[in-house]
């Protein structure tokens, strides 16, 4: 009888730990998306300032920003709008928003 209680307690305890960890993992994924997009956006702004809007460097950073947005969209069905500082739930970003 005691081993059944211990087993049941162990299962309940493990389930509680798992349930507590899932939101944290999801939040970390969202934070990573936000950081990736913010970083790519910042790098694009720097490339534009240093090399010009039509430079190869700016075009490269535009592609990097696009990829960061696409990755978040694939993983979370949302993307971080760095300019408005909010999550967007429509696949409606403009790849030329920095032109």
Give tens-digit pLDDT for 47-90: 999 999 999 999 999 999 999 999 999 999 999 999 999 999 99
Residues 58, 47 contacting (CB under 8 angstroms): yes
> What is the DSSP track for 2-62?
HHHHHHHHHHHHHHHHHHHHHHHHHHHHHHHHHHHHHHHHHHHHHHHHHH-TTSHHHHHHH
pLDDT, tens digit, 9 for 90 and up, residues 19-41: 554 444 445 556 899 999 999 99
Placement of tokens 């939101």 in the chain = 23
Angle at 89 between CA 87 and CA 90, to 5 degrees: 125
DSSP code for 90: S
Higher pLDDT, 84 or 11: 84
pTM beyond 0.85: no
| Selected residue with higher pLDDT from 18 and 98 | 98
DSSP symbol at 67:
H
């Amino acid at each position: 009888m005691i081993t059944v209680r211990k087993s049941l307690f162990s299962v309940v305890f493990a389930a509680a730990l798992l349930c507590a960890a899932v939101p944290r993992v999801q939040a970390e994924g969202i934070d990573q998306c936000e950081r990736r997009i913010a970083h790519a956006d910042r790098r694009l702004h720097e490339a534009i300032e240093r090399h010009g809007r039509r430079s190869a460097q700016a075009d490269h950073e535009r592609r990097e920003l696009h990829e960061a947005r696409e990755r978040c969209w694939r993983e979370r069905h949302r993307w971080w709008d760095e300019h408005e500082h909010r999550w967007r739930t429509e696949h409606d970003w403009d790849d030329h928003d920095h032109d």
